[in-house]
Structure 1
Amino acid sequence: MMITLYLAEDQSMLNSALSQLLNLEDDLTVIGSAQDGATAWQAIQSQPPDVAILDIEMPKMTGLDVADQIHTHALPTKVIILTTFAQKAYFQRAIASQVNGYLLKDSPSDDLIAVIRKVMTGQTVYAPELVANMVTAESNPLTERELAVLGEVASGLSSKQIAASLFLSEGTVRNYLSAIFSKLGVHNRIEAIEMAKRNKWLA
């Protein structure tokens, strides 16, 4: 399956280099790019790509503004934020906008390509260093549904039992668990439960 991409990055050299790099992959194709958020949003509305890769700091509209619009208009486009800035406020807003991926620009290009493929399977991927720096007791990054899933996990239920309890498919439960692990920067259910209880997100 060919994955269509839209790239919004205000640095022209990086914009061009990323487009060329992504187009080298057999299953990826960049269908458009822009150097400001407003142009990107207009293009994404008219021809929604599978994945929008958005810089944060851009003229006219930031990448997070565009992400908000994509979420508000319920477009089928996955969103990956690619930024130089490891700022807590940006990260919190990205979580609120339900972006699917959040990477720093100094990440290896292979990481970006891997994240594109992961978000297309329903996973949520945030750079571990962002999670480690920014997850605090005052800032619970989990949605209500993710907390519900984690609460069921803490009760000792299997994925199949959680799916039945919350009227979800097992695949959806697995996707929620993947998002939880990524947001919390943990590797398994036990670590996720320990962090949530330590920060009083779960009783």
Structure 2
Amino acid sequence: MQTSIVIADDHPLMLRGLTDFLTSKGFNIIGSAEDGNSAYNLIVKLKPQIAILDIRMPHKTGLEIAEACKKNRLNTKIILITFDKEEILYDQAKSYGVYGYILKEFAVEEIETCIEHTIKGRPYFSKEIASYLSASNLDDKPEALDTLTKSELKILKLISENKTSQEIADLLSVSIKTIHKHRSHILAKLNLDNKPTSLSIWANLNKDFL
């Protein structure tokens, strides 16, 4: 079954270009919108698997839509596209459980990979935004990393490479139950909430320290 997608962007050329590109790649674009209210109404009505949203739109931003979807427990997974590199927007996106965060200048190059990760329940964030944020904090190695054991650090590094728990278990020749136990310990030590994407996003942001 094709992945159902809604796309929203207030720039008609971007909206049309992304829609045509993804359609040509075999994705099922079931709706599109040029403002936030229309986009949110489409998500509620059509219940797409994925919504690809511009962050800055009239009436309702992509972040506001992501927040509303989380609050109302909608199952649509959100991917945001933007020109913005502000850390505060990135942090907001993470807090709303967004699955993807892509810079517009790399959208065509990265959107397929992002969708594939999202379908599998894995977060995907533009390498460029992760590099930008890491570069602005080169001397700020998270102190919590020093509390992790060698095994936990090894697992965290594999998580930063977008490995699943089963793949990590196979690579380390341990049970999936052992990996889940380690993940719980890592979440506690890093003071992260127990959301499916929390550890992956944190690991990707701090992969230079792993």
The amino acid across from 2:42 in the alignment is A
Q: 1:56 to 1:160 in 2, by over 3 A?
A: same
Aligned partners of 2:199, 2:126: CA distance in 1, in Å? 16
Counterpart for residue 47 of structure 2: 48
Q: Does 1:20 align with 2:42?
A: no
Task: Give the aligned residue type for 1:92.
Answer: D
Residues 39/81 of structure 1: CA separation in 2 closer, same or farther (3 Å cut): same
Structure 1 residue runs of 5 or longer lacking an equivalent are: 141-146, 167-173, 196-203
Structure 1 residue 10 displacement after superposition: 0.2
CA deviation digits over 1:124-182, x for unaligned, max 9?
111122122225488x8xxxxxx9xx77724989554132565xxxxxxx977644433
Note the alpha carbon deviations across 1:95-142, whole angstroms, 9 max, x for none.
Answer: 11110010000005131011111111011111122122225488x8xx
The aligned amino acid for 1:41 is: Y
Partners in 2 of 1:115 and 1:56 — Cα distance?
Answer: 16
User: Which shows bigger deviation, 57-66 or 175-184?
Assistant: 175-184
Q: Judge conservation of contact 1:48–1:76 (CA < 8 Å) in 2.
A: yes
Residue 31 of structure 1 deviates from its aligned partner by 0.4
Kindly indicate whether the alpha-carbon contact (under 8 Å) linking 1:34 and 1:40 is maintained by their aligned counterparts in 2. yes
Corresponding position: 1:182 with 2:182:
no
What residue number does 2:120 align with? Answer: 121
Partners in 2 of 1:129 and 1:42 — Cα distance? 31
Partner of 1:80: 79
Asked if the contact 1:153–1:162 (Cα under 8 Å) also holds between the matched residues in 2, the reply is no
Note the alpha carbon deviations across 1:75-98, whole angstroms, 9 max, x for none: 111111001111111111111111
> CA, structure 1 residues 154+33, in 2 after alignment: closer, same or farther (shift >3 Å)?
same
Amino acid at match of 1:131: A
Query: What secondary structure does 1:49 align onto?
Result: coil
Cα separation, 1, equivalents of 2:64 and 2:202: 24
Bigger drift between 153-162 and 83-92 goes to 153-162
State the Cα distance separating 1:30 from its structure 2 match.
0.7
Q: Quick one: distance in 2 between partners of 1:101 and 1:124?
A: 6
2:185 counterpart of 1:163: no
Runs of 4+ with deviation above 3 angstroms: 135-138, 154-160, 174-181
Amino acid at match of 1:82: I
Q: Specify the code of the residue in structure 1 equivalent to 2:84.
A: F
Q: Aligned residue for 1:2?
A: 2
Q: State the TM-score, normalized to the length of structure 1.
A: 0.73
State how many pairs are aligned: 174
Cα separation, 2, equivalents of 1:155 and 1:181: 11
Which whole-Å CA distance do the structure 2 matches of 1:85 and 1:57 have between them? 9
| 1:103 and 2:102 correspond | yes
| 2:159 aligned partner | none
The residue number in structure 2 matching 1:170 is none
Comparing 96-105 with 124-133, greater Cα deviation is found at 124-133
Q: 2: CA distance between counterparts of 1:123 and 1:155?
A: 19
Give the corresponding residue for 2:166.
none
* Structure 2: distance between partners of 1:88 and 1:178: 17
Q: Report if aligned partners of 1:125, 1:183 keep a CA contact under 8 Å in 2.
A: no
Q: Which amino acid aligns with 2:133?
A: M
Q: CA RMSD in A?
A: 3.1
The structure carrying a bigger helix percent of its residues is 2
Give 1:69's aligned residue.
68
